[in-house]
Amino acid sequence: MTSPDSRVQRISSEADPWRRQREIARAVRHDFTDVLKFHGAKGKDYAVCTNTMYVEALGKSAQRLRVERGLGPKTNLRNFMTVSELAVISFGEVLAGERIVEERCDGGEECRLATAQSARSLRACIETERRGRKSKQPVAANDQAKAEKAA
C-alpha cells in the first residue's frame, strides 16, 4: 500500500517535468556509481568521472557551472540543471556505464576514459542535431551539397 506522501510526490512529479527528470537522473546516477564501484572506482574517482561527463557533454566543468550559476562549491549542481541538461547527463551516464561494462574497465582512470568517450560521442550527436535545426535542412543534405560543390 502506498502512503499518501508517496502519492502526492508521484502526482507532483508527473505534473512537473523537471522533477520527473530529476527523479530519473537520481536513479541513473545510482546505477552509474554502482558500475563505477564494481569496476574499481574509489574515492575521488567518482567526482573525476562526473566532472569528465560535465566537461565532455556540457562543455564546462562542475566548478565553472557552479560559478556561472552563483552556487557554492559543495552545492549539488544537478538540483540547478535544466531538464535538458539533466537528460543529457543521465543519458551520458547510461552510455558510459554500458561502455565501462563492455570494455571491462578496471580502475578509476579506465572508467574516466570510457566516460569521456561516451560523453564526447553524445555531445557530437547533440551538436549535429542542433546544427541541422539551425540550417533548417537535414545535416545529411548539407553534407551532400558540400560534397557536390567540391566535386
Count of structural domains within the chain: 1
In the DSSP assignment, the letter for residue 55 is I
Above 80 in pLDDT, residue 146? no
Give residue 132's pLDDT: 86
Choose the most confident range, by mean pLDDT, from 1-15, 108-122, 126-140: 108-122
Q: Which domain holds residue 116?
A: 4-150
Give residue 4's pLDDT: 47
Q: How many CB atoms lie within 10 A of CB 22?
A: 17
C-alpha cell at 39: 569496476
How far is residue 137's CA from residue 132's CA, in Å, rounded to a whole number? 6
Across residues 123-149, what is the average pLDDT? 73
Write the pLDDT tens digit of every residue in 78-118. 999 999 999 999 999 999 999 999 999 999 999 999 999 99
Give residue 1's pLDDT: 45
Which of 118, 117, 140 lies closest to 128 in space, CA to CA? 140
In the DSSP assignment, the letter for residue 123 is H
Collapsing DSSP to helix, strand or coil, 6 comes out as: helix
Above 90 in pLDDT, residue 145? no
Write the pLDDT tens digit of every residue in 55-81. 999 999 999 999 999 999 999 999 999
In the DSSP assignment, the letter for residue 61 is -
Write the pLDDT tens digit of every residue in 37-58. 999 999 999 999 999 999 999 9
**Residue/partner pairs of 100-106 with CB below 8 Å, 24 or more apart:** 100/35, 100/36, 100/39, 101/35, 101/39, 104/39, 105/39, 105/40, 106/39, 106/40
Rg (CA), the chain: 19
Give residue 7's pLDDT: 44
Task: Please give the model's pTM, rounded to 2 decimal places.
Answer: 0.78
Would you place residue 142 in the very low, low, confident or very high pLDDT band (cuts 50, 70, 90)?
Answer: low
